[in-house]
Amino acid sequence: MNHKDFAKKMGEHSLLYIEDEQHVRDHFNEFLSRYTKKLYVCKNAEEGLEIYQKFMPSILLLDINLPGMNGIELATMIRKNDKKIRIIMLTAYTDKEFMLQAVELELTRYLVKPVKSEDLLLAFEKSILELNVNNIVNLGNGNIYSKKLVSIISNKETIPLRKKEAELLEYLIEHDGEVITYERLETTVWNDEVVSREAIRSQIKNIRQKIGKDCLENIAGVGYLFKVN
């Protein structure tokens, strides 16, 4: 990806940067501002979590060693319900314990401090490529889900999804081949809100009307099995 393409693609994404050392934070804040206007910067994980929940950035850049909640804990919390976000971890650690935790977090990259600007740009380029790969999902039978458009594209027709329909479909796609229980949907897609099974069935029915029935199987009394053709 040449510099012009990178700058254009990076400008399309939002970035949350969390760093507790002010001089490091100020330096990279100025540097990152050249590439994206949607940049959110803070000094600890608690502030970062509030920003994440409000703006849902597509890339997270954070230090592992933060005061209070550390970077691993925050990334774990976010990754639990967000499989799309790209995470780049800044760390002074190279030990086995960190490496094991990093694997579970599906990091795009971890960078050992002090970080060179060119290494950071390469990590962002990898993040952009991963985000672009995940933008289109082939559902079979001529149906494609576009995450960017939040729509089903079927025979050149674009069928928009409502917010909850999209959240539910994306969760099912992320867990292709797994039996997803009603309880699990309540915890993840509905964030532990009180929701009836009838309400969940209604959303599933709406999705089936837009993508067809073949890839979404009902498991009686349990939940659903999503299988991409």
74: nearest Cα among 43, 33, 37: 43
Is the domain covering 162-226 a CATH 1.10.10.10 domain? yes
124: nearest Cα among 7, 4, 45: 7
b/e for 1-23, b at 16 or more Cβ within 10 A?
eeeeebeebbeebbbbbbbbeee
Where in the sequence of the chain do the CATH 3.40.50.2300 domains occur? 3-133
pTM score above 0.95: no
The predicted pLDDT at position 3 comes to 67
Superfamily of domain 3-133: Response regulator (3.40.50.2300)
> Digits of tens for pLDDT over the chain (229 positions)?
666 777 777 887 889 999 999 999 999 999 999 998 889 999 999 999 999 988 888 899 999 999 999 999 999 999 988 888 999 999 877 666 676 777 778 899 989 889 999 999 999 999 988 887 667 788 888 888 888 788 998 877 889 999 999 999 988 988 888 899 999 999 889 988 889 999 999 999 999 999 988 889 999 999 999 987 5
Where in the sequence of the chain do the CATH 1.10.10.10 domains occur? 162-226
